[in-house]
Every structure is written in structure tokens, then in C-alpha cells.
């Protein structure tokens, strides 16, 4: 499996916790978004780069596997990995880790497709600019 990855650290904010004092389950998808945005910025393929070329990349699948709760103020590391795919879609895998106790809080995966911004039609192959970016990117390999 070939991939690129990046990590970003954030803190669990007060607005993210529920009445029980733990991070509300839906906020983990926001953490995934934080990870995707950071990976896009550090790899020179951000959402804005894609949009400027006339494409949207909506999420069509999202999966979250909760492991250990986060609470207000916890330092969090979000690791996002983009998996190289033969299909014209973006496959991201995530690990959200609590840096206070070094426990994995959740694991996840999302899939996005390319839509033409003008026609809203699904792209069945990668747009040429993205294909070029794939060729120029240094991908890591998992043993």
C-alpha cells in the first residue's frame, strides 16, 4: 500500500464536549477534516487547489471506530493518511490519539469522489492535474 501522511496537534475545545464532559462523537469527523486539510496543505493539493481547477470532492463514505474518549483540554494528535488508489477517489485513513495518555481515541476512513464543478457529473478517471500530482508525489510504502 502506498500513502502519504501528515499529523497535526489540536486541543479538545469546550464547544466540542457534551453534557457528560466528553468530546461528542460527531466532532471526530471534524478532526478528520482538520487532518485532511493539513495533509492537503502540506502536500500541495488542498481543497482550494482542487476547486480552482473546477472540481468538488464530496465525501461519499465515512467510518469511525471509537476506542477511548477525549475530554475538554486534551491534547490531540490527528494523523491523516491518503492511500494511493487506482480508482478516481480519495481514500483517507485517520488516527486520533490522546497525547495526555498516548491512547488511540478513534480510527477512521473516508472516501471522496471527484465531481465536475460545472456539470456536477462524477469523474470516472482522475482529472489530469491530479494524475500529474500523483506522479510527482513521493509516496511511502507500508511493509
Evaluate whether residue 139 is within a structural domain. Answer: no
Is the separation of the CB atoms in 23 and 16 below 8 Å?
A: yes
Query: Where does residue 106 rank: exposed (0-12), middle (13-18), buried (19+ CB within 10 A)?
Result: buried
Tell me which residue range forms the domain holding 74: 2-133
CA gap 69, 104 in Å, rounded: 9
Q: 43-46: long-range contacts at Cβ-Cβ below 8 A with a sequence spacing of 24 or more? A: 43/4, 43/6, 43/82, 43/137, 44/133, 45/130, 45/133
For residue 143, is it within any domain?
no
Domain assignment present for residue 140? The answer is: no
pLDDT tens, residue by residue, 54-99: 999 999 999 999 999 999 999 999 999 999 999 999 999 999 999 9
Flag whether 120 is in a domain: yes
Residue 100, CB-side half-sphere exposure with 13 Å CA sphere: 13
What is the tally of structural domains in the chain?
Answer: 1
The answer as to whether 141 is a domain residue is: no
Task: Look at residue 64 and tell me if it is in a domain.
Answer: yes
**pLDDT tens, position by position, 93-136:** 999 999 999 999 999 999 999 999 999 999 999 999 999 999 99
- Return the CATH number at 93: 3.10.129.10
Q: Specify the pTM.
A: 0.94
Q: Quote the CA–CA distance of 49 and 4 in Å, as a whole number.
A: 17
Asked if the structure places residue 104 within a domain, the reply is yes
CB 83 within 8 A of CB 90: no
CB 95 within 8 A of CB 104: yes
Considering the domain boundaries, does residue 113 fall inside one? Answer: yes
Amino acid at each position: 500500500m502506498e500513502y502519504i501522511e501528515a499529523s497535526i496537534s489540536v486541543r479538545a475545545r469546550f464547544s466540542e464536549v457534551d453534557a457528560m464532559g466528553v468530546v461528542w462523537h460527531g466532532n471526530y469527523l471534524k478532526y478528520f477534516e482538520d487532518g485532511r486539510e493539513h495533509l492537503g496543505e502540506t502536500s500541495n493539493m488542498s481543497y482550494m487547489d482542487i476547486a480552482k481547477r473546477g472540481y468538488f470532492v464530496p465525501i461519499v463514505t465515512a467510518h469511525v471506530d471509537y476506542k477511548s474518549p477525549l475530554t475538554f483540554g486534551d491534547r490531540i494528535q490527528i494523523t491523516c493518511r491518503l492511500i494511493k488508489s487506482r480508482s478516481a477517489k480519495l481514500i483517507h485513513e485517520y488516527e486520533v490519539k490522546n497525547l495526555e495518555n498516548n491512547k488511540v481515541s478513534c480510527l477512521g476512513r473516508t472516501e471522496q469522489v471527484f465531481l465536475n464543478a460545472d456539470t456536477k457529473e462524477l469523474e470516472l478517471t482522475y482529472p489530469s492535474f491530479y494524475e500529474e500530482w500523483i506522479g510527482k508525489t513521493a509516496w511511502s510504502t507500508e511493509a
